[in-house]
Amino acid sequence: MGLVVDAQKYVQELLARPRPGEKDFLAFYEHRIGLICKDPRLFLIPIDDHMVHRGDGVFETIKFKNRKVYLLKEHLERLKRSAKSIYLTPPCTWEKIYELVLDVCRAAEVKDGLISLYLGRGPGGFSPDIRECPVSSLYIVVRKYPYKKVEFWEKGVTAFKCSIPAKQDYLAKIKTVDYLPNVLMKREAILKGYDYPFCFDQHGFLAEGSTENVVIVDQEGRIVVPELRNALTGTTLMRALELVKNEFTFLFRPIREEDIYEAREVILLGTTIDAVSVVRYNDKPIFDVRPGPISRRIRELLLQDQEDYGMPF
């Protein structure tokens, strides 16, 4: 029975163990404890939190650059919609969550970073019965910003049609922690040597990437956005459309695979990539196989907006 130890010994062993990725974790908060900690070896989620064993939770990934949190209000509004969709109430007010996000960012003591914000059903048991969980859970983590080389945007990226279908429409609109389809999409892209996967719905219409929205620029120079029936409505996407509305025409309509081949530009949009051009799709060139002017302009506007619109802390 040498494996059975008291709490003090267990914590000692926990602190002595290396933590994969610990160099990237800067500060975290768990509402059950009510404190901010900077030692990633203590960053733990109870195994019986229904978010862990049932996928019963929602999340957001938010960035800050130059100590300014970008689209914080918009991300929290989407988190609120996701939580409402699964009948989940946070353990504190939304105003308090807003303040806590900024508190954890300050504690991280870096100018650029990523925020991972999770709301779970909470601990209390291992069945699917939500009555086991008297209080929901809240976790906030700040980690190092995943910088990319400038060549990422200057050269563009590759994409392909993956074998994983788009999510059902009612699930696709919720940013739930159950990201298994997204994980399998990314795995397939890695194994096949592509940068990004695209998934399609049962009617053959483009949905989204594994964690990115996709738009195309048609032969008339219009930005065409999928109808987002089977895709998450991205905060970066919607902000980009707001920023370009006085410069470019955009419309929402279904996009088939042949539309991608005929596009002048194919653009990915997301929190950590801003806007980047897909220059090859299924190994076939997109237009002149170079990042397009609309993609570059969108990113230019987003970068300026991050400075102008970000919430300082």
Decide if pLDDT at 263 tops 70: yes
* Domain residue extents for the chain: 14-144, 151-312
In sequence order, which ranges of 109-150 are alpha helices (DSSP H)? Answer: none
Which pLDDT score, from 0 to 100, does residue 131 have? 98
Segment 277-303, tens digit of pLDDT: 999 999 999 999 999 999 999 999 999
Segment 191-249, tens digit of pLDDT: 999 999 999 999 999 999 999 999 999 999 999 999 999 999 999 999 999 999 999 99
Decide if pLDDT at 185 tops 80: yes
Q: Give mean pLDDT, residues 272-280.
A: 98
Which pLDDT score, from 0 to 100, does residue 260 have? 98
In sequence order, which ranges of the chain are alpha helices (DSSP H)? Answer: 7-16, 50-53, 72-85, 94-108, 151-155, 169-172, 180-192, 235-244, 257-262, 293-309
Tally of CA atoms within 13 A in the half-sphere of 296 that contains its CB: 9
Phi, psi of 249 (to 5 degrees): -85, 135
Residue with tokens 């991608």: 260
Q: Give mean pLDDT, residues 108-137.
A: 98
Segment 65-91, tens digit of pLDDT: 999 999 999 999 999 999 999 999 999
Residues 6+ apart with CB under 8 A from 207: 166, 167, 172, 198, 199, 200, 201, 226, 230, 231
Q: What percent of the chain has pLDDT over 90?
A: 98
Which pLDDT score, from 0 to 100, does residue 281 have? 98
Length, in residues, of the chain: 313
CATH superfamily placement of domain 151-312 = D-amino Acid Aminotransferase, subunit A, domain 2 (3.20.10.10)
Decide if pLDDT at 146 tops 70: yes
Confidence (pTM): 0.96
Segment 155-172, tens digit of pLDDT: 999 999 999 999 999 899
Amino acid found at 219:
Q
CB 197 within 8 A of CB 162: yes
Which pLDDT score, from 0 to 100, does residue 2 have? 75
Which CATH code is given to the segment(s) 14-144?
A: 3.30.470.10
- Produce one character per residue of 289-307: b if its CB has 16 or more CB atoms within 10 Å, e if not: eebbebbbbbbebbeebbe
Amino acid found at 255:
I
Decide if pLDDT at 126 tops 80: yes
Which pLDDT score, from 0 to 100, does residue 1 have? 59
